[in-house]
Amino acid sequence: AQKVTQAQTEISVVEKEDVTLDCVYETRDTTYYLFWYKQPPSGELVFLIRRNSFDEQNEISGRYSWNFQKSTSSFNFTITASQVVDSAVYFCALSGPGNTPLVFGKGTRLSVIA
Amino acid sequence: EPEVTQTPSHQVTQMGQEVILRCVPISNHLYFYWYRQILGQKVEFLVSFYNNEISEKSEIFDDQFSVERPDGSNFTLKIRSTKLEDSAMYFCASSEYDSNQPQHFGDGTRLSIL
């Protein structure tokens, strides 16, 4: 069975601080895909990144970066120099090969205080 | 940028009534999904749909639920006899080729059962 654990329920940081959101996953598949989605207060789900299990290269996109480590089954997300607009719930998700549904973690609520 | 659109944004319905939630997936996408998020909880998979039939469904998707693609653009979720516990945000998503491409989500329909 697939499982995603986001141990941090809520994080609060002061603007311009760096913050890392943790994601640990469980799967028996050798091919799988990891995702991060952002859910701002308005409620929509915004796709941030997709990573396949064969690509452990870290990725940076502006202030966002992702650290994928298969050895620890983790796919952590770091926001550098956080801003108030980063305040949202962030979900990590996992899917297996083929047309399998996304399995979401419980989310981490990030509050960035000015 | 093309997006998934959902209507209505908020639906209030009396318990026992039927409700239809509507979605227009991205036009060149082939896979369609419904997910549910009870307030404050994680996003849960309901059903996936491909080639005019259900590909996979979760335990939540029982006989009171049905999906349909009535024409070339719309994708609907029907709940036949709503219960209080059906109150949630319902998200439609679509993806190219298969679920291992990023699923793009609509803004959701907030369903409130009275």
Are B89 and A43 an interchain contact pair (Cβ–Cβ within 8 Å)? yes
Q: Which pLDDT belongs to residue B28?
A: 86
For residue range B76-96, what is the model confidence (pLDDT) as tens digits? 999 999 999 999 999 999 988
Substitution target in B7, B30, B42 with the highest count of A β-carbons within 10 Å is B42
Low-confidence ranges of chain B (pLDDT < 50): none
Q: Nearest CA to CA, how far is B114 from chain A (Å)?
A: 21
Give strand ranges (E) for A1-114: 3-5, 10-14, 19-21, 24-26, 33-39, 46-52, 59-61, 64-69, 74-79, 88-95, 103-104, 108-113
Q: Which pLDDT belongs to residue B54?
A: 94
**Would you tell me how many other CB atoms lie within 10 Å of the CB of residue A108?**
21
Q: Which pLDDT belongs to residue A101?
A: 87
Q: Report the residue from A35, A43, A101 with minimal CB separation from B48.
A: A101
Contact assessment for residue A23 and residue A33, using Cβ atoms and an 8 Å cutoff: no
Q: Which pLDDT belongs to residue B99?
A: 55
Q: Nearest CA to CA, how far is B80 from chain A (Å)?
A: 24
